[in-house]
Structure 1
Amino acid sequence: MNGIAKKLILADKTYPSTQRCTKCGYVKKGDEKITLQGNRKHGTKHNEYICYQCGYNNDRDENAVLNLLALAK
Structure 2
Amino acid sequence: MSVASMLKNNKLSKAICEASWATFKAMIAYKAKWYGKQLVVVAKNFPSSQLCSHCGYQNKDVKHLTLREWQCPNCHTRHDRDVNASINIKNEAVWLLTAGTAGLAY
Q: Smaller-chain TM-score range?
A: 0.7 to 0.9
What percent identity do the matched residue pairs reach? 36
> Normalising by structure 1, what TM-score?
0.72
Structure 1 residue 11 displacement after superposition: 1.1
Could you tell me which of 57, 61, 73 is aligned with 2:78? 57
Q: TM-score, normalised by structure 2?
A: 0.52
Alignment of 1:1-73 (within 5 A): 4-29=35-60, 32-37=61-66, 46-73=67-94
Mark the runs of 5 or more structure 1 residues left unpaired by the alignment: 38-45
Larger relative contact order (CA 8 Å, sep ≥ 6): 1
More helix by share: 2
* Structure 2 segments unaligned to the other structure (5+ residues): 1-33, 95-106
How far the C-alpha of 1:4 sits from its partner, in A, is 4.9
Q: CA RMSD in A?
A: 1.7
The higher radius of gyration belongs to 2
Aligned residue pairs, count = 61
